[in-house]
Amino acid sequence: MKILVCISHVPDTTSKINFTDNDTQFDTNGVQFVINPNDEFGLTRAMWFKEKQGASVDVVNVGGPETEPTLRKALAIGADNAIRVNTPATDGFQVAKQLAQVAKDGAYDLIIAGRESIDYNGGMVPGMLAALLNANFVNTCISIDVEGTQATATREIDGGKETVSTSLPLVIGGQKGLVEESDLRIPNMRGIMQARKKPLNVVEPTEVTAQTTAEKFEKPAPKGAVKLIDPDNLDELISLLHNEAKVI
């Protein structure tokens, strides 16, 4: 089985976010980038297929040279090959088109993408990728098993879970549940050294017109000041909740 894991290069959630050029561009200065968490769950599940069923695992990213450390980390975790499509990721459709071309060229059986990335939270790429490939699709996937050409997947739905059976080729939009957080892998020294020798292939993009553009970014309003009340002064607390906060 050939598996392709789609990797997004995203800011660490602890990073302080700022914008430049009149709030039209994301400021990358001082920002630590990581593998998108939903993609990391998928990558770890792909490693299970590699170890248990002998699957081959490739990882792919759409982005410039600055994303290569993230791909190298995926190789250190255990992926066999990495592919970087040499173009900035501009919108969901553009990314899906680039990934679809890589998937077609590689004739993959299972394509694992995160259900969304934590930077733009668009949630569009896995579904569009499946449509472009004319492949079966399971979103919000929390479990996946494959026997031969048949797959059994469980996905989250409103109020519960749904288990479906389908055939390969298959695209899934994965999330936590594919593996647990405790199963995520930290690259060891041996993996890091091996990753330096593994192929990281740079391919040129196909011509695609982005369907959306970001006009402006705005940070959430800062939190208001906190007023502390002496725990023995219950009357003042009630008065403030009633007259100032107006919640009672």
- Does residue 4 contact residue 112 with C-beta atoms inside 8 Å? yes
Residue 52 forms part of a structural domain: yes
Which pTM was predicted? 0.87
Query: Vertex 32, ends 45 and 5: CA angle to 5°?
Result: 25
Domain that holds residue 201: 2-220
User: Is residue 129 one of the residues assigned to a domain?
Assistant: yes
Neighbouring CB atoms inside 10 A of 199's CB total: 10
H/E stretch holding 191 reads: helix 189-195
Q: Tell me, what's the pLDDT at 234?
A: 87
Return per-residue pLDDT of the chain as tens, 248 residues.
999 999 999 999 888 889 999 998 889 888 999 999 999 999 999 999 999 999 999 999 999 999 999 999 999 999 999 999 999 998 999 999 999 999 999 999 999 999 999 888 889 999 999 999 999 999 999 999 999 999 999 999 999 999 999 999 999 999 999 999 999 998 888 899 988 889 999 999 999 988 888 889 988 888 888 888 888 888 888 888 888 888 88
* Tokens read off for 235: 């009357």
Q: How many CA atoms lie within 13 A of 105 on its CB side?
A: 14
* Residue 188, in any domain of the structure: yes
Q: Decide the pairing of beta strands 81-85 and 9-11.
A: unpaired
Within a domain: 246: no
Is 100 inside any structural domain? yes
CA–CA separation, 129 and 127 (whole Å): 5
**CATH, residue 70:** 3.40.50.620
Buried b / exposed e over 177-191, threshold 16 CB at 10 Å, is bbbeeeeeeebeeeb
Q: Are the C-beta atoms of residues 39 and 67 closer than 8 Å to each other?
A: no
pLDDT at 5: 98
Q: How far apart are CA 75 and CA 62, in angstroms?
A: 16
Is the preceding peptide bond at 169 cis, omega within 30 degrees of 0?
yes
- Tell me, what's the pLDDT at 11? 93
Would you say residue 124 lies in a domain? Answer: yes
Q: Is 10 domain-assigned?
A: yes
Residue 238 lies in a domain: no
| Tally of domains in the chain | 1
DSSP 119-163: TT----HHHHHHHHHT-EEEEEEEEEEEETTEEEEEEEETTEEEE
- Amino acid 135: pLDDT: 96
